[in-house]
Amino acid sequence: MQTEIFENARPRLMSVATRMLGAPADAEEAVQEAWLRAMDVDDEIDNPTAWLTTVVSRICLDMLRARRDTAPIEDADRPDPRTGPADEAQLAEAVGSAMSAVIDNLGPAERVAFVLHDVFGVPFDDVASILGKSPAATRQVASRARKRVSAAPPDASSRRASAVAAFLSASRDGDFGALVELLDPDAVFRTFTDDEPPALVNGAPAIAEAFMFRAKSALTVLLDGKIGVAVPHPSGTDAMLLVMDVSFTPTGSIAAIDATLRADELAVVEVQAAG
């Protein structure tokens, strides 16, 4: 593999490895090992970035298993990129930094599934091939990880970040069951705009139905110190910006999501990664 191809993929690979392993030094070790393996590949690869992401993910999985001395994957406790490397790195930082302490408590398979799918949007079929599981079993692993992340965040900021990330992930997949699972049965979604009464969607089923497949390109970001969402314009320059205020029930389900549309609704901005 050409050095230029690998270096172009390096930001994404470092983000993936850092989110999985927690320490930049460990991430650098995993990426370096991926480079050594890539040097031995002579065949032309259709999607080098996806291939390298798979290689790094498998290396990280092995490192996590060795670190925790876990059983084989089958007994563990349990890519076609959507965006460019810069967007993926931003999304990883938006979610990963705020939730690093919680992700550290996930089992290796849960951690890989959560980071690859919920943070980077890697399809379940691709994650399943890395874990050696069926897509259905991988969905269950990711769902379990999502529950653990939502149930035991280290602080309020990371809790909101994890909730927004999980909601966007389920919306992006059109996963009705996952959306309902995240929400309290009597949850409410309120959208606020300037000088207009809030638009309301009441009840978990109605909210889930309203947001099926609605977050295809949404990114979790930090807006004026608050967790938010940026929805890029098709032109690639503008973004619709929403500040997301999430409240929870005592059991950890989402009780309400208040989405406030920024006054500069469509603005050319440099959004700051959350976390």
Nearest to 94, CA basis, from 148, 9, 160, 171: 160
pLDDT per residue over 105-124, tens digit each?
778 888 888 888 877 778 88
Q: How far apart are CA 257 and CA 61, in angstroms?
A: 34
Confidence of residue 250 (pLDDT cuts 50, 70, 90): confident
Residue 108 · residue 76 · CB < 8 Å: yes
Give the rounded distance of the alpha carbon of 264 from its chain centre: 26
Domains of the chain: 3-154 (1.20.140.160), 158-267 (3.10.450.50)
The length of the chain is 275
| Phi-psi category of residue 213: left, alpha or beta, with phi > 0 → left and psi -120 to 50 → alpha | left
Q: What is the pTM of this model?
A: 0.47
Quick: pLDDT tens for 141-191.
988 887 776 665 445 666 777 788 888 888 988 889 999 999 999 999 999
